[in-house]
Structure 1
């Protein structure tokens, strides 16, 4: 059985195409795996530093006002996880759910009207700046670097796409609010 040259050329061409396809598939899979890690807001909130502890431990604090329904908050969850990994030993990461009325005093104090709303507090818990909406991780990192170095924030008032905070938060559990009509709301804290 002899193999003619055109048939050999066709087989070689098919082999090269298959190898290139496998290589592209591997590159795509590896590229997806090296993207920002996925994170959920619930997981981030569970591992966050409690506000009271953050205000008392003498470290700079990065506060995020968020809501689980907020698409901008969800879109930034991976970036928040990466920032936590990069700054975990130097900065407190606090998450306050705007749907929890326990945080209403803080929401009013920091004038939260869009989320995510980020507040940068120095090591004395003094307000150093804020960012609202989907802000690039690099900008937040530059602010965190400045906060750790006791320098003015390079982006003290950064703005991006945000979700509006609607209405007022639900009352604490066990209390009634005439506007709630008896509805119970979960309390993420």
Structure 2
């Protein structure tokens, strides 16, 4: 029985070639995953988002989106929201509130969030201007942002309505949607 030949070791050229291929593959993977900033548009917005109370009191109109990480419709709308935020910076506060975060439970209750994505629209003085439930196109988001910035009426888009306050409900002696008495 003959002994098997000793394994050949890689030469300097082969080692260099393997290193170059590994580097090229790592670079390709980095580019395909979105570069060094691989956060999704929704993650970028959430990270940069102001606290809702700050946004509603700083003298700028505000658009608050109630969302969840698992919400496909929220993810679908996120690039348009990010574009709106970038194009209206210093004129409109775009705020994201994650409905699954217990920190925001009071806001979810206060604004009666019953579906996501829900947009709550506020004038520069913090007063409610309207509410929208469901996905909005980038063009619709831009129209909403322009209306808030310019103080003009909110566009009459399907599914967008004005909001009423609890005081308004109390003055008409009607019960709200959450009362069962």
TM-score (norm 1): 0.60
SS at match of 1:125: coil
User: What are the superposed Cα offsets for residues 106-155 of structure 1, whole Å, 9 maximum, x if unpaired?
Assistant: 21222211111111100011110111111112122112111111112013
- Alpha-carbon distance in 1 for matches of 2:151, 2:44: 30
SS at match of 1:93: strand
Mean CA deviation greater in 62-71 or 50-59:
50-59
Listed as ranges, the matches of 1:75-94 within 5 Å are 75-94=76-95
Tell me if the contact between 1:60 and 1:124 (Cα under 8 Å) persists in the aligned partners.
yes
- Alpha-carbon distance in 1 for matches of 2:85, 2:148: 14
Q: What is the aligned length?
A: 123
Instruction: Assess, with a 3 A threshold, how the Cα gap between structure 1 residues 115 and 137 changes in structure 2: closer, same or farther.
Output: same
Listed as ranges, the matches of 1:16-55 within 5 Å are 39-55=40-56
Q: Which residue of 2 aligns with 1:147?
A: 148
Provide structure 2 residue ranges, at least 5 long, that are not aligned to the other structure: 1-38, 161-181
Instruction: Assess, with a 3 A threshold, how the Cα gap between structure 1 residues 43 and 108 changes in structure 2: closer, same or farther.
Output: same
**Offset at residue 157 of structure 1 (A):** 6.5
Cα root mean square deviation, aligned: 2.0
User: What are the superposed Cα offsets for residues 155-176 of structure 1, whole Å, 9 maximum, x if unpaired?
Assistant: 37636xxxxxxxxxxxxxxxxx
TM-score (norm 2): 0.63
Tell me if the contact between 2:71 and 2:116 (Cα under 8 Å) persists in the aligned partners.
yes
Q: Which has the larger radius of gyration?
A: 2
Q: Which residue of 1 aligns with 2:128?
A: 127
Instruction: Assess, with a 3 A threshold, how the Cα gap between structure 1 residues 110 and 156 changes in structure 2: closer, same or farther.
Output: farther
**Offset at residue 95 of structure 1 (A):** 0.7
Provide structure 1 residue ranges, at least 5 long, that are not aligned to the other structure: 1-37, 160-189
